[in-house]
Amino acid sequence: MAVRNRHKDPATLTALKGFIREADKVREQTGMTYNDIVRICAERGWRGLKAEWILKDQGQPTAPEAQDDLDAIAKQWRQQLEEMRAADGREPGQFKDL
């Protein structure tokens, strides 16, 4: 609260809900307590919180890395689908837009 006041950002209910939402993400992946999370934010002078800021420091995967994993899975599924369709007598590459 003091950090937000120092930056002339009011402590609104919306800001608090956003902080809790992001803190929950950190807790789920790291097991940190709310006190630990608030302490880190205060020490760094953050007015708010994005889970990826702490997760990155903790060596946890963040959204871009998770997206890379999803892209790899999607690519694998597309290849398997092409193989299945080729086995049905369809021309390879016929479904590249999938």
Per-residue pLDDT tens digits for 46-80? 878 889 989 887 776 555 555 566 777 878 888 88
| 38, 1 contact by CB (below 8 A) | no
| 46, 53 contact by CB (below 8 A) | yes
- In percent, how much of the chain has pLDDT > 70? 73
Predicted pLDDT of residue 27: 92
Sign of CA dihedral 28, 31, 34, 39: negative
| Residues listed for the chain | 98
Predicted pLDDT of residue 25: 92
